[in-house]
Structure formats: structure tokens, C-alpha cells
Structure 1
Amino acid sequence: MNKILAFFVIFLANASTVKSQQVKIALAPEINFPTGNASNISGIGFGGSLKAEVGIADKYAITANGGYNLFIGKKYFGSRVENINAIPAKLGFKYYSSPEFYLEAQAGAAFHLGSISRTSFAWSPGIGTYFKTGSANNLLEFGLRYEAWTNASYGSISNLKTTSFGFVGLKLGYVFGL
């Protein structure tokens, strides 16, 4: 109990050192590599994202992220699996372990386009780092994340089944500091 209380006090002390609400806007192209069963459907995906970040304390920020992803369907026996197109929209929390390195978690929805028109629960943990540019406020960002789009459905005997389309995403973006 004392350890939990000590952790809570330390967390509040760090969070109470609020800095000015620094705002960052990032634009990034992405390359995505499907994992697990998703790799049977697609070998590679491409996309782009727009992320807004607002600092809430010295080492903490909240994020809003939107984008577009296209996964190219694989070809089997002369027939190609349909491409997967989706627009993910997520909110998240970012922790800076140093000024250049961060850990991040996001959750939201992925809106699928085309004949696979449905909405999935989207979640993604990630890490990233910043590199300085010639501008005082602008940065380059390299990010690595795992993202999954999870769906729930009922089987023939009312068993709840979940399926996920997961991938590892790499991005190299430009960050505008406002």
C-alpha cells in the first residue's frame, strides 16, 4: 500500500510541474508490415498520418491521430485478395522519458472502406524519437508502433469471437512546433 501511495505522490508531483501547453503537429508517410494471420492477406501496407499533440505536463502529452492506410492484397492461385483501405482515428497518451524519446499508447476506431465496410476497435502502443532540423521549433520524427484493428462477432452458436488485423508500422515524419 505504501508503494502505491508513494508512486501516486511522485506521479502527481511530476504532473503538477505543468509547462506551457506546447502544441505539435506532425505529418508522416508510413510503411506497414502485417503480422500474424494478417500477413496471409497482405504483404505490405502504405499510408500517411496527421497527429496533433498537446503537452499537459513536463513529460506528458495527449494526442489525436488520423490517417489513411492501404494494405495491398496478396495473390493466390491467380486471384488477388481485396485490398484493405481504412481511416484510423485515435486518441492517445505520450510519455517522454527524455526530450528526444517517447513511449505512446493510442486507442480509437478504424473505419474500413470498400466492400469490407465496418468499424474496428484500433489500438497501438509505440515508441519514437525526434531529430533536430535547422529550424528551432520543427523536428524530424521516427516512430515504430504495433497496431491492431479488432472486431467482435458471434459464431453460429452464439460464441463471441474476436479477430484482429495487426501490423508493425514505421514512420518518418515532419513535426511543426507551434
Structure 2
Amino acid sequence: MKKIILILIIGAISILTVSAQEQDKIKKRITYSFGADIGIPAGYVSNYSSLVAGASLQAEYPAFKNLGITASAGYLDFIAKRGGKGVPFIPLLLGLKYNFTPKIYVSGQAGMSFYAGRDNGDGSGGGSGEKYFTYVPGLGFHTSKHFDVLFKYESVYIASSSRTYSSAGVRISYNFNLN
């Protein structure tokens, strides 16, 4: 008899737990954003680039109360000084976003960037489609329900030439839900 009661209690707890998790899933909606990126080159790359510009799309899944999982894709161009050819990348990143308050958060992403230009023979980038390790830490602010400002440092590491394409910049984004 004790075993039957124990099995019923465990079964009831399991059903309530699954039901609570299903309720949580209903409330959790993915937030999408698209943004404009602009920055100032840092380190080696500042010798030939004066501006970094691009755009990105991002999705955020709220995994826990204050923690979200992010995935993003974008286009980032290290624009050359004096009309030369820039160095463009397509970053694909995964990361985490932690909300300290409803208005302030930190984020960190890492992944790969694909070289989107042609090899110009000077070692500034690989051939089209080459991929490089990328990381992006940042501090952000929710300025309103739909707008966000992220101050970030983005770094693309090219192992074959031991060079890093880095920038300090800002991403201004519009956030929305599809439901």
C-alpha cells in the first residue's frame, strides 16, 4: 500500500511539474530585433580603416527569469581609409544576455565570421567564405519597449595571419515579437 501511495504522489508531482513547465513555455516568447551597427576600429585595423558599419538580425529566447539565449547574423564592414577596399564579414553568433534590471543588461556572444570579400593579396583577409573566430561582449540599455542600445566590443581573429579585426561600437535596434 505504501508503494502505491508513493507512486501516486510521484505521479501527481510529475503531472503538476509538467503542467507548470507548459504554462511557462506559453509565456516565453522569442524576441526578435534588427539593428544598425557602427563603430571605431581598434588596434591594428585602425591603420587602414576609419569606420566600421553594418547591420544585424537577432533572436532571443528567455531561458530563465533574467537570462536569455541569443542567436544573431549580420554584416560588418571595416571601411577602408582613402577610398580603398574595405574588409567585410558575415558574423554568425550565439550567446547569453543577462538582465540586471528591466532597463540594463550585459551580453556576450561568440561564433564564426565569414569573410565576405575577395582576397586582395595583402593578407588583410582570406578568400571569400573563410571563417574566423569572433566574440562580442557588451553592455546594453532598453531605452523603450521596442528600442535598445548596446555598447559593444567586437573582435574577429584571423589565425592564419595572427591579426585581429576589432572595433568598439554601438548597436541600435528595434525589438519585436511575432505573436
TM-score class normalised by the smaller sequence:
0.7 to 0.9
CA apart distance, 1:52: 0.2
Residue matched to 2:169: 169
Indicate if the aligned counterparts of 2:97 and 2:108 stay in contact, CA closer than 8 A.
yes
Superposition RMSD on alpha carbons, in Å?
1.9
Question: Residues 3-82 of structure 1 correspond to what in structure 2 (within 5 A)?
Answer: 20-75=27-82, 80-82=83-85
For structure 2, the 5+ residue unaligned runs are 1-23, 120-127
Indicate if the aligned counterparts of 2:44 and 2:163 stay in contact, CA closer than 8 A.
no
CA apart distance, 1:85: 1.2
For structure 1, the 5+ residue unaligned runs are 1-17, 133-137, 154-160
Q: Does 1:126 align with 2:138?
A: yes
CA apart distance, 1:22: 3.0
2:75 & 2:149 partners in 1: Cα distance?
18
Residue matched to 2:114: 111
CA apart distance, 1:171: 1.6
Residue matched to 1:93: 96
Instruction: Look up the SS of the partner of 1:37 in the other structure.
Output: helix
Residue matched to 1:7: none
1:46 & 1:119 partners in 2: Cα distance?
19
2:49 & 2:171 partners in 1: Cα distance?
19
Q: Deviation digits for residues 40-88 of structure 1, max 9, x if unmatched? A: 120002111100000000010000011111221123xxxx542111111
Give TM-score, length-normalised by structure 2: 0.75
Q: Deviation digits for residues 113-153 of structure 1, max 9, x if unmatched? A: 12233211010100101122xxxxx4100111001000213
Structure with the bigger percentage of strand: 1
Structure with the bigger percentage of helix: 2
2:118 & 2:146 partners in 1: Cα distance?
39
Give TM-score, length-normalised by structure 1: 0.76
Amino acid in structure 2 at the alignment position of 1:121? F
1:46 & 1:124 partners in 2: Cα distance?
15
Residue matched to 1:150: 157
Amino acid in structure 2 at the alignment position of 1:98? T
Instruction: Look up the SS of the partner of 1:64 in the other structure.
Output: strand
Amino acid in structure 2 at the alignment position of 1:165? Y
Identity %: 32
CA apart distance, 1:172: 1.3
Residue matched to 1:140: 147
2:149 & 2:92 partners in 1: Cα distance?
20
